[in-house]
Amino acid sequence: MQDPFFRRNAQGATSRLDYWSMDSEYGELQDVLIGPMEHYSWQKGNAMSLRSIRLGREFDKHIAQQQYQEMLDVYQHCGVKTHFLKADENLPYQIYARDSSVLTPWGPMITQMYSPWRRGEWVAVSKFYQENNIPVYEAVTAGAFEGGDFMVLEPGVILCGYTGERTSEAGLKQVRSWVEKEGWEFKSYQFDPYFLHLDVKFAMLSEKLAAVCTQAVEDELLDWLKSRGIDIIDISYRSVLELGVNVVALGNDRVLIPQASKELVGKAKAHGLEVYQPDMSMFTSGGGGVHCMCQPLSRKDA
């Protein structure tokens, strides 16, 4: 029996949505959900923001607003329709819209946030889907599960990282059971909590091309990627410290990369990709980059 609130078929074989769906991380991006920045400030709850504070960096909201607009201008230029979550003054990290829901091949899924200052984010994201008549696939209820660890890698395959914190083993197992019932492969990869989410050190750039910090992942993941015929652009550990691998594939061999990630910008261009590179330093210093800030709502099938 189908849940009246969620469209997931308990027996599997849930139908794809006509529009609010994706089957890869690199299909042409059509619609994206962006978090608000009105109440954004750096929190001392992750290694990246703590490092910035230790280095004496300071948050400047005026500069942050300019950088935020520059990112939105890229989406507009590339023909991507932007949607926005309603701001809540109690949610300083609501801007990182990637985490509070994810887009699956069968529609959006509400996640379960780990950090105390983020647990209320499910309210705004649930209201967004309801108000825009976007059917929700399911909602995570076991443990914690955050979208920065979840990737619709390519048609038929989900890759999901977990540290035991932001994505817990219980949350991972619950989502795995749903995905496998739909007939998709679900590859899990465990790593250290220091790296926050998988999207800090791994990103799909285009079909069969990924950026990976090979110094920060185990051979298990590298061997699995290679077995799938995925070419790897190796990015240094120092770049990871500035969230230089946290990027957005726009589709059609276009990619959004923070300006400071000069290493990946150069290597992506060398692979023939068209690169858009806004300055996002006010956000990467706070622990999240452009990938964290966008939740795809629709991608064309790969």
Split at pLDDT 50, 70, 90, the class of 50 is confident
pLDDT digits (tens, 9 = 90+) for 225-281: 999 999 999 999 988 887 889 999 999 999 999 999 999 999 999 999 999 999 999
Strand order in the sheet with 81-84: 81-84, 29-34, 294-299
pLDDT number for residue 269: 98
pLDDT at 44 over 60: yes
Split at pLDDT 50, 70, 90, the class of 200 is very high
Residue that wins the pLDDT comparison between 50 and 162? 162
Split at pLDDT 50, 70, 90, the class of 111 is very high
Highest mean pLDDT (candidates 36-45, 176-185, 242-251)? 176-185
pLDDT at 201 over 90: yes
pLDDT at 58 over 90: no
pLDDT number for residue 2: 63
Split at pLDDT 50, 70, 90, the class of 161 is very high
Cα 204–205–209 angle (5° rounding)? 75
What are the angstrom distances between the C-alpha of 169 and each of 142, 182, 233? 9, 20, 29
Residue 213 near residue 240 (C-beta atoms within 8 A): yes
Please give the average per-residue pLDDT across 30-52, as a whole number.
Answer: 83
pLDDT at 1 over 60: no
Q: How far is CA 159 from the centre of its chain?
A: 12
Q: What is the CA radius of gyration of the chain?
A: 18
pLDDT number for residue 139: 98
Pairing type for strands 231-234 and 209-212 reads parallel
Please give the average per-residue pLDDT across 65-93, as a whole number.
Answer: 96
Split at pLDDT 50, 70, 90, the class of 90 is very high
What is the 3 state secondary structure string of the chain?
CCCCCCCCCCCCCCCCCCCCCCCCCCCCEEEEEECCCCCCCCCCCCHHHHHHHHCCCCCCHHHHHHHHHHHHHHHHHCCCEEEECCCCCCCCCCCCCCCCEEEECCEEEECECCCHHHCCHHHHHHHHHHHCCCCCCEECCCCCECHHHEEEEECCEEEEEECCCCCCHHHHHHHHHHHHHCCCEEEEEECCHHHCCHHHCEEEEECCEEEECHHHCCHHHHHHHHHCCCEEEECCHHHHHCCCCCCEEEECCEEECCCCCHHHHHHHHHCCCEEECCCCHHHHCCCCCHHHHEEEEEECCC
Residue 96 near residue 125 (C-beta atoms within 8 A): no
Nearest to 64 by CA among 87, 84, 37: 37
pLDDT number for residue 45: 67
pLDDT number for residue 226: 97
Tokens 């690199």: give the residue. Answer: 26
Structure tokens at 15: 């139908």
How many other β-carbons are positioned within 10 Å of the β-carbon of residue 84?
15
